[in-house]
Structure 1
């Protein structure tokens, strides 16, 4: 049970967020309020307020940050992107809870004593307000962190944050995962799952050790991206940071995250930005088509479990257990494939005799399919992957080649989305990266007409872009821009 400090931290964090927005530039405030809130606030703890959905480490920094940013900048931060497809995905994401409720007004009779309730409008509103918490992160990043310098600032902040976070991580590797207990009075997950290979995997203040591992892997890869895109005199320190984070990742004892890093870091080191972009797009296609491929039994799950068995029998058993549960959950989801089953345990598999839940949902894709069907899955995954698919088109429209920073970030984002297939590893970092990358691409597309006019000999590019520069943080004259 959370102690008083856990609730006090959540209660005070709106004030901490306000202080950041008052004393920091808006870009830094957006980045650090979200990262610090997620990495330091207690996990599995919710402030339940009368008539409102619960507030937690996901929603407090984003919702209050959205309000503060709108007040400080003197305008409402738009939730909807400029891209038509992005607007469609946003509308789908906001409509999905209501469509799910509308198609699940019936009772589910599992057994005589176990009857699952029909969904109500309150359920849709509750889910919608929860989704707004993550959507506000994406909107803040897309609107405020919307140029190449801001994208680099986001990447740098993530790497630096996990360099610092490695200190408590190494402590827990040596002393066991106990910081959350020591500070917030309870352990946020199953302690046995933090024991691996005769030692411990760190969890610190996140929800699971696997989240710590995948974020450490992403940070190591982003350090390589920073090294390749930095001046030569600064590159070596980022390479050292990547090597250090890779060592920490090994100590996290997560085979999947380590395989991701070992497989993709050489690509980030040697491949061209164009090739990295193509690989990211290919990964995105696989992710969006994965539910259909699993439904058609195209994914070689038996072969994958066999390959895992060559490394460890325990890992093979764990992977096969996931696949078996995915099969059962997917078969149940296909009974209502369009809008899913909704909450109140309607999306899980029950024993027909005892009425007990006999399924375990690990991957976010199957959780999304069960709750909201294909409609919800496409909305959420399509929105997050949108910048990956727009990367090449936006650069072509601006008459530019894809740079290593944008291409590398898109590959790391695609990797995070790949990990959502076996795990529910979506975090505020995912939404922050996706929103910032899309904001950068939208700014690039807005600058494209200027380039076309310059080629026609009408207006010099430098003059046109200088007039617009104040909106993206590089004012050419006059007072310092808020952004």
Structure 2
């Protein structure tokens, strides 16, 4: 059944591009695939990457573009803003070759990452490279959050995983938090769901604040946001709740006081965390000792275990600091008998261990360069138009996603799609001659 659904998705995407305008078809394809297709994948003969819900979506959209809108492909122009994603996609080849894993392994890993990361970014660059397109994506993420409300409530009430119920398999054990069941719907776990609902809630609050949407299907948006926030709380994602509060605070302080200092402070803390982790000076034990004065010891065990793992993995990564250890678990530590004694929980330590400093810098530059650039060229003083506020909030959401990947490793192609779109917006405004702090968007 799972393979049938994934194969069927290909013609469905082609139909969407015949049925809807290109930007809307793209957003419907990505959001629907991420939210509802099975967490399954398989190898196709002669293709070195996995055929799954997102590779199927990217390939189908590229085919639809070639069939119906080939001029859009021709409109792409490379810019140095695109350099981080290119380096991130190609550095796995260097990691394989420098570790003696061979050119074929390097080619396979590079092609897989290009489809996984480069595909959504490129499609965002060519389809969502204007304010209207990224605003539509913000609306699509909000509607995607609303679509998940009944599934989340169903799982909270019944403790039955929707993915397992429909697709007849689950990807992990029951997710428990605070002594009760935590829903995951069609996502890998409750944390991934929490991150999605965080972004959807942020977009909903901003769309309400700017009066961009007043109702959906004759239901006032205030009711919908209330339902979305209540559902988000029931998901029990503590980290995502913290990120939502920080994101809303950043947007509101920018609107009320005309300053983006809270965003810069937050991003600065992110880079300090990464720097200390890379050089091996992160004060993990000191943080645990401090928090131990306020938090029960059993609640700190997971955090302490994470800090200990990252310290060991970072030391191993520094032995191959430029391009890392490559794949096949070579970045891990093992005891006699081949049993792993470390766990890789976060994207930063995975990127640093497998692809070295080159990989670590390029992946976070991919996520954060558009954020820095947008807030630089469109500071709060220029937010007289609601659309700019929405896009600025979207950029804040990308910053929250990047910070989440300092602590976790939750790939989400919709966010990468938005990163490409945000880059496209900046480039289409011809930044070299664009009058900074312009207040009107045409």
TM > 0.5 fold call: yes
Correspondence 1:33 to 2:26: no
**Structure 2 counterpart SS, 1:360:** coil
Contact in 2 for aligned 1:276/1:407 (Cα 8 Å)? no
Contact in 2 for aligned 1:180/1:205 (Cα 8 Å)? yes
1:253-332 alignment, distance < 5 Å? 253-272=236-255, 277-288=260-271, 290-306=273-289, 309=292, 310-332=294-316
Contact in 2 for aligned 1:172/1:179 (Cα 8 Å)? yes
Which of the numbers 294, 300, 325 marks the counterpart of 1:341? Answer: 325
TM-score, with structure 1 as normaliser: 0.82
My pick for the range that moved more, 265-274 or 313-322, is: 265-274
Whole-angstrom CA distance in 1 between matches of 2:182 and 2:188: 13
CA distance 1:337–1:237, shift in 2 (3 Å)? farther
How many Å apart are 1:273 and its aligned residue? 8.1
Correspondence 1:198 to 2:203: no
Contact in 2 for aligned 1:291/1:365 (Cα 8 Å)? yes
CA distance 1:306–1:407, shift in 2 (3 Å)? farther
How many Å apart are 1:262 and its aligned residue? 2.9
Aligned twin of 1:121: 103
1:330-479 alignment, distance < 5 Å? 330-351=314-335, 353-395=336-378, 403-445=388-430, 448=433
Correspondence 1:15 to 2:11: yes
Which of the numbers 160, 163, 169 marks the counterpart of 1:180? Answer: 163
Aligned twin of 1:167: 150
**Structure 1 counterpart SS, 2:196:** helix
Aligned twin of 1:149: 132
Rg (Cα) greater in structure: 1
CA distance 1:246–1:301, shift in 2 (3 Å)? farther
Whole-angstrom CA distance in 2 between matches of 1:101 and 1:79: 33
How many Å apart are 1:234 and its aligned residue? 6.4
Which of the numbers 78, 83, 89 marks the counterpart of 2:84? Answer: 89
Whole-angstrom CA distance in 1 between matches of 2:424 and 2:257: 20
The count of corresponding residues between Structure 1 and Structure 2 is: 431
CA distance 1:410–1:234, shift in 2 (3 Å)? same
Contact in 1 for aligned 2:280/2:314 (Cα 8 Å)? no
Contact in 2 for aligned 1:276/1:411 (Cα 8 Å)? no
Which of the numbers 2, 17, 27 marks the counterpart of 1:6? Answer: 2
Aligned twin of 2:56: 60
How many Å apart are 1:58 and its aligned residue? 2.2
Aligned twin of 1:477: none
Which of the numbers 63, 69, 76 marks the counterpart of 1:73? Answer: 69
CA distance 1:203–1:308, shift in 2 (3 Å)? farther
How many Å apart are 1:289 and its aligned residue? 5.0
How many Å apart are 1:413 and its aligned residue? 0.9
Aligned twin of 1:247: 230
How many Å apart are 1:435 and its aligned residue? 1.7
Whole-angstrom CA distance in 1 between matches of 2:7 and 2:62: 17
Correspondence 1:210 to 2:188: no
Whole-angstrom CA distance in 2 between matches of 1:184 and 1:308: 42
Structure 1: runs of 5+ lacking an equivalent: 106-118, 456-461, 470-483
**Structure 2 counterpart SS, 1:340:** coil
Contact in 1 for aligned 2:280/2:311 (Cα 8 Å)? no
Which of the numbers 32, 38, 43 marks the counterpart of 1:42? Answer: 38
Structure 2: runs of 5+ lacking an equivalent: none
